[in-house]
Amino acid sequence: MTSVPSPAPESAPESATNAAVTAVPTAAATAASGAVHDLAHITPRDQAEILAQALPYIRKFHGKTLVIKYGGNAMTDPALQADFAEDVVLLKLVGMNPIVVHGGGPQIDEALAKIGKKGTFIQGMRVTDEETMEVVEWVLGGQVQQDIVGLINAAGGKAVGLTGWDGGLIRARKLKMADKDDPSKEYDIGQVGEITAIDPAVVKALQDDQFIPVISPIGFGEGNESFNINADLVASKLATVLGAEKLLLLTNIRGVLDKAGTLLTDLTAREVDELIEDGTISGGMLPKIAGAIDAAKSGVHAVHIVDGRVPHALLLEVLTDQAYGTMIRSH
Ligand code: ADP
Ligand code: MG
């Protein structure tokens, strides 16, 4: 386990969320102004040099599949949204195969609030009754998916939105969720699904034709019923099935933090177990880390939890040697 000191004093992870936001002034400032970064101070020669330095990474990842979970603030802030779309299109145009799986927690909560409902979570999973499932379907499979498709298309890509129904992509069954401290205790969290099978044929066909798949985390069951599936788990399973080179989970925090709020830059499965056991990892980080470990153990070469609040987080992660966030290793 490697840790780096925090840029600002931070306490427990939950409260660290806010502290960390203020710790990224450039991200926040750029995002707030919506301004394109002014590069006038960089000479054309230096600009050319910067582009040339991406060559080894472009060569290394050419033809490789990158599964990207798009979530957190990068999804709600307009400037970060535009950066994300540009990054995905650029990676596609230099020969990689980016596949986007999106979340949409804030958008679902907003839609629930309109009908006077409040979202509830157990161990980081959304409790999904029938009414909530309806909202999840039209918010994720409708509005959110189409917004992302539109953004990528506006940046010059050809995005196609899919749910787990399309091409029989994601089969699921009702999740039986055990208590993380007491396995004999089980929660009923409604229409939340656990993936039983992924048929990646539709994704492969699209990527071969230069389309960028944008996938909503909704699966279908044996009785043709819909299931709400945590997007981190969909991204992880898809990365495994596709034999992806990289799985990048963009989120709203710097990465996995320890109890003091310090960023843990790399973690093994065993270390993660300890952090779950002592309560350091909780909430939405639980399914994220579970998916990440699963993908790492199943042979996905690089698995990273990345700070999506950093402008062009994707390009930084794929085309430079800068490491932001937490890298997850199988051992
Ligand atoms: P996403 O949209 O990226 O899925 P989530 O809210 O589901 O976001 O999960 C990320 C959240 O997990 C963080 O904002 C933080 O509140 C919470 N969390 C719990 N434990 C930790 C931890 N040890 N390190 C970082 N974040 C944590
Ligand atoms: Mg989440």
pLDDT digits (tens, 9 = 90+) for 48-60: 998 999 999 999 9
Taking the CA of residue 258 as reference, the ligand 1 atom at the shortest distance is 23
Closest CA relative to residue 250, chosen from 23, 27, 22: 27
Q: Are strands 302-307 and 193-198 parallel, antiparallel or unpaired?
A: unpaired
Average pLDDT over residues 148-169: 98
Taking the CA of residue 255 as reference, the ligand 1 atom at the shortest distance is 25
State in Å: Cα 281 to ligand 2 middle: 13
Global pTM reads: 0.89
Closest CA relative to residue 96, chosen from 302, 295, 311: 302
Per-residue pLDDT of 90-118, as tens digits, reads 999 999 999 999 999 999 999 999 999 99
Per-residue pLDDT of 185-226, as tens digits, reads 999 999 999 999 999 999 999 999 999 999 999 999 999 999
Output the pLDDT for position 38.
75
Taking the CA of residue 106 as reference, the ligand 1 atom at the shortest distance is 2
Predicted confidence (pLDDT) at residue 120 exceeds the cutoff of 70: yes
pLDDT band at 1 (very low <50, low <70, confident <90, very high): low
Output the pLDDT for position 19.
37
Output the pLDDT for position 33.
42
Output the pLDDT for position 323.
75
- Mutate which of 17, 250, 253, 305 for ligand 1 pocket (most atoms within 8 A of beta carbon): 253
Of residues 177 and 20, more confidence is placed in 177
Q: Whose CA is nearest to atom 18 of ligand 1?
A: 285
pLDDT band at 35 (very low <50, low <70, confident <90, very high): low
- Beta bridge partners, 177, equal 187
The 10 Å Cβ neighbour count of residue 5 is 9
Q: Which ligand neighbours the alpha carbon of 286 most closely?
A: 1
Q: How far apart are CA 327 and CA 292, in angstroms?
A: 9
Strands, sheet with 326-329, edge to edge from the N-terminal-most edge strand: 2-4, 263-268, 326-329, 302-307, 246-251, 65-70, 97-102, 212-215, 159-162
Closest CA relative to residue 58, chosen from 98, 97, 94: 94
Distances in Å between the Cα of 33 and the Cα atoms of 38, 78, 131 are: 12, 10, 37
Q: Whose CA is nearest to atom 7 of ligand 1?
A: 284
State in Å: Cα 69 to ligand 2 middle: 10
Q: How far apart are CA 243 and CA 251, in angstroms?
A: 22
Indicate the average pLDDT of the chain.
Answer: 89
Taking the CA of residue 103 as reference, the ligand 1 atom at the shortest distance is 2
Average pLDDT over residues 245-252: 96
Output the pLDDT for position 68.
98
Taking the CA of residue 308 as reference, the ligand 1 atom at the shortest distance is 3
Ligand 1 lined by 256 (C-beta under 6 Å): yes
Output the pLDDT for position 36.
63
Q: How far apart are CA 295 and CA 329, in angstroms?
A: 9
- Beta bridge partners, 178, equal 186
Q: Which of 8-12, 148-152, 227-231 has the lowest mean pLDDT?
A: 8-12
Ligand 1 lined by 285 (C-beta under 6 Å): yes
Of residues 183 and 96, more confidence is placed in 96
Q: Which ligand neighbours the alpha carbon of 75 most closely?
A: 1
Predicted confidence (pLDDT) at residue 252 exceeds the cutoff of 80: yes
Host H or E run for residue 134: helix 130-138
Average pLDDT over residues 262-286: 95
Output the pLDDT for position 92.
97
State in Å: Cα 235 to ligand 2 middle: 12
Output the pLDDT for position 154.
98
List the structure tokens of 249: 């989970």
Predicted confidence (pLDDT) at residue 85 exceeds the cutoff of 70: yes
State in Å: Cα 231 to ligand 2 middle: 7
Rounded percentage of the chain residues whose pLDDT exceeds 90: 79
pLDDT band at 5 (very low <50, low <70, confident <90, very high): low
- The residues, any chain, with a CB within 8 Å of residue 289's CB and separated by 6 or more, are 256, 272, 276, 281, 305, 328
